[in-house]
A and B are shown apart, each in its own frame.
Chain A
């Protein structure tokens, strides 16, 4: 018996861990990026096709943003900054998870969720302050459509954060790839939002 045991082949090496959730989230982030960049490309197309007019400063600009509409820049700039902070919080959750620190991971995810909800709230505030109808013109229709799509992506991000937070509360920190995927999703949201912020709210 002992001879048999001594001649037995050793077990094979454990296969390298392949994080399915991380890969799938990367694919979804790539799809989401193409979605938003495709919509931004359409925005460019319509903006560039609009006729030229003279601005208050005497420059010739595209007559795209109606002159009576003012974009609340404080709210939009704050959104952009808080989105970056959300990335830091999501990465903190990954850091804590790798150290099996449930309380800090939970706190980080709670802050991420809170920031996401704050960003949604800020977007609604922007809608209220701009006070324009969806059917008032081409700009308005496209503005609500592209920002509404971004809002939908944000809602999914908040949902992801809440689900990840419940996992952390329950102490399910063994698989850090879920937290990495969560962080990746927030990186994607932030990158896409910053692009949208620059094109829609800064360049107008």
Chain B
């Protein structure tokens, strides 16, 4: 028999705020976290637009040895995980006495890799690299560091699947708990924001250059969009077996009840309406729901014409005539890439808890594909019982999650 999987803690460190309360306010207010970074322009980016993510002050929180091996994204992940564990009522003693796993989505650690390469170029001597960059530079930097800091002894690996990484991490955590293989797993996604992380993405002309009005630049589903804005931070969620959560008296925030995935089988950077639909349909079927049961869809839509168009086509096919409200929170956050699939579930749970749907800001003029969608241009106060969160990544990897309000 499949076990019920719930979420008992959430944490966030993003350009919308550095804790759940700040982010709730930003989401409700429709506040953009995008700014202009001169350093990017000086470095040679076409676009200096980026999510303005604060750097955590870790000196009083973590000892030097841990900090030495902590990459930028792992530092973000630590702050989000700390908040999630605290919210779940899981303290250090619990973590030492019980088996907890970790699955994090992360698909690069360019900052640390480039730093190592620069030392080698200059010194031609590996001895000058020091001890920390190996633990910062691997894709598994987040889960290896979270494992060490929180004394985790369960499942432990990273999911690298481009912009669907964070979503797949929750999906896989859900499956492991559902099957009875784990009781508690820290899931999430992390994304670096340093200048080395996204230069090759900028090379594809994928980023908006609307630099005269940064907060208006990310405009998913809008006719006049001109690209996405890179962003980052980290989101963390404590996934837990329902009975286990009840037994230890935890507050249940939401239920993970559907995970769907697919691959497009086509071009490396080509989105697909068919692939998107397969993932969404699977997630809804897995949740034993129908499209009519979904109240809110957190769209993947990144503010690129092609990606938005294919998702809009898929959403039109699946949700035509249904009541589900739709928004892309990337209109406020920019594209949080490896982290997005996890952060957008956190954003959606916040909306579910506080009975509102956050807006798809900057939606001034719809195009023919987005016109029929139930897109939300301004915050709507409404009850949200079931949400669908979409994540579609480069390399044709798709993930969709259905989350419900606890019964």
Are A and B physically bound partners? no
A residues apposed to B, CB below 8 Å: none
B residues apposed to A, CB below 8 Å: none
